[in-house]
Structure 1
Amino acid sequence: MSEFAAVDVIRAKRDGHTLSDAQIDWVLDAYTKGVVADEQMSALAMAILLRGMTPGEIARWTAAMIASGERLDLSAVTRPTVDKHSTGGVGDKITLPLTPLVAACGAAVPQLSGRGLGHTGGTLDKLESIPGWRARLGNDEFVSQLRDVGAVICAAGEGLAPADRKLYALRDVTGTVEAIPLIASSIMSKKIAEGTGALVLDVKVGTGAFMKDLAAARELASTMVELGKAHGVNTVALLTDMNTPLGRTVGNAVEVEESLEVLAGGGPADVVELTLALAREMLAAAGIDADPARVLASGAAMDSWKAMIRAQGGDPDAPLPTARETEVLRAAEDGVVEAVDALEIGLAAWRLGAGRARKEDPVSFGAGVVLKVRPGDSVRAGDVLLELRTDDPGRIPAARDTAAGAIRIGESAPTHGRLLIDRIA
């Protein structure tokens, strides 16, 4: 018979007590094995959201999630290993050009990524728009590709932090996604278990991010940096703006196209700026002296991209899917674009079929939004503001209504905020 009962652990946190190491170890192990029921873990997650956790509790919770599964052994990889994690945003395609760029600079990038849910896009969904590309790799394939190509973007294996996989799905349906201790431990348990030597975190702040508030984003970033360091992973975080979508595309194939523009030496200025900023942080964390801007201009990052895509069965030269239906949204008046709301644009792309409401839902690879204006641009009545793309014309009216509310046109240019808000190390 167990020395613990789930209801006692729930009550302890409900009443504001600090959970012991033994309580944390037991409850996560028991939940992974099905001894603690979903409704009990739901109650505990809500208690954590409302009562919080001490740094010691968060560290132990993270360690227990790591211990619930396997840890990848990257000792066969001779290059320094460094990964990047974004907390999610709209038009956030940065992983796509960044991973091959950092690999071309001499690092090995073990990028375990996820799928989109709601208004935030998923890296795996974007890459699966490339014909033949596969997200699932066995551990041996993962290590082999990391060693030979230097870059891997794939789904986390079933054996990696299974407690997190179970708890992540539960949080999504119980209103506890926003709990900072649970966000931090979820992200860091997977990143530490994957075996990377260094990690750079891109913590998004703004309307299109999970963290709308700068103070909460800073708390999350600091918590994750400390967790990484405690587990021997050199960790740095950047706080970056997510009030406006990144780049000009939101969707799947359209974001791959834009990423290819960046790798070819072009692309939107904000996507290039953030890609290079994160690359510099990753290379510094890995102890590599290289200039990512020069490497990007040389074409070496594009070569690395093609090698990475081919290694996972994809055809980097194949045409990407395109949507069957396109509709444009035009300006009703003359003026200046004051704002392009990231959340509303993300929701419009989701309504067009680019995202999913539930994890098991399919996505449309060709669906999405292509922005024709940015904040500060002057427009005349009748100018095209954006394109809506979908395979299902029945999705257009709701998406059009949502997108129309995203673009605010006024008389004066907005004060441009900084893309890079802060750095936490």
Structure 2
Amino acid sequence: MDTDTTSTHPLGAVVDGVRDSLDEAASCPIWSLPDAQLGGVLAQLVRERARLDALIFDLVRQADVNAVHTGTGAASTAVWVRQQTRMSRAEAGGAVKLAKALDATLHSTKKALSQGRVSLRHAQEIHLAMGKLPADIDPDVKAQGEAALVEQAQTFDPQELRALGDRLYQVVAPNDADRRIGEQLAREERKAAASRTVYFGTAGPGIGTVTMRFERAYMAQLHGMLDALAKPRPGPHGRDTRPYDRRLADAAIEWIGLAQAAGNAPTRGGTRPRITATVPFKFLRGLHGHGVIHTTLQATATLNPDGGCEACVTGRGDAENGGADGSGPKVGAFGKVPDGIPVSARWLRMLTCDAEILPAVLGSDGAILDLGTGTRLFTSNQRHALGERDGHHCNFPDCQAHEKWCHAHHLIHWADGGPTDIGNGVLLCPTHHDMIHHELAGADG
């Protein structure tokens, strides 16, 4: 936009002179400027540009004071600035705000900008940093903070100055800053605690999701615990190729097992969390088919020696899969997690290596006639003996996972008649226990 600056006012004549000088400079053969002078001329132009910016803000501020926009139909000074300069909405609004601040409070910044000692971007960062200071602090403290930033702007670029500005109050008033930061953190922590949530969902066949939201401090604790369990572990084919997020997920599964195995694990109705699994006994022996996990709140399962394995909560079975009279809903060679998702018999075999089983005898109508007592397949004394024998760590080659992380694994699975004694047991970390049951064909578990 061409604007007539012809005026009897001295400033108009000066601006005309600046325009003429720039025209002359543009016609100069820059290619002939000696290399030794390029840096000096460049730095001088940047300084003069900053001085021009200071003059522009003076004009914007005066236009705002005079409410020039009211005589032009513009809704505000910012709109008027856009009309005159083709600035963007955000740029024009920021120019008006900075012009007001330079005139009202940022006196050191205004002086430095008009002298070319700081750039427009530096001035904007100083304005931003000063706006973050508490409104009720001593004006002298504010002035000290501004002066400190102006001084730092002689050394640091605008992005670096922003980082310094974020810590400005801690520098100029450290004691009060600590108090205010503590109060702010306390408010944020109370708000975060009130918004804690855990959601369990599904993400497709066989996979579930957990969404958690809680305070960052606890999130850091959780991350630290999982990270300690997520170290790479070599497998039968060499180095651990799992990506970090997968190792974290596997570590979470391992962590769940550690929590369940803890002596002070939480209970519900006096019973520690367990899993109810439904799977035909013949499929559990044969490593094929699949089973059902019914609940993690009670670990009651009924084993039918005729071939069926039915959870007490399931009801009656059928003749093919272990029911006595062929009536009632079929159990089949499948299983479900609490929401009904099937799991493989191989996975159930791994689970039952170190599980609690409540044997039950079913009558012809499927009713429970006798319910046995819970039996931990490997007792704590047996697990300790396995640790003493195997060096207190996972027995997989080159794995040093501590015994407290390990599962007690049956070399000959209990479903195949394997005894629960030290000679038939070995400690395996969750990663290698899973590998034995899911990846090594022909392995017993």
Q: Which has the higher helix share?
A: 2
TM-score, normalised via structure 2 length: 0.18
Greater RCO (CA < 8 Å, at least 6 residues apart): 1
Q: Which has the higher strand share?
A: 1
TM-score, normalised via structure 1 length: 0.19
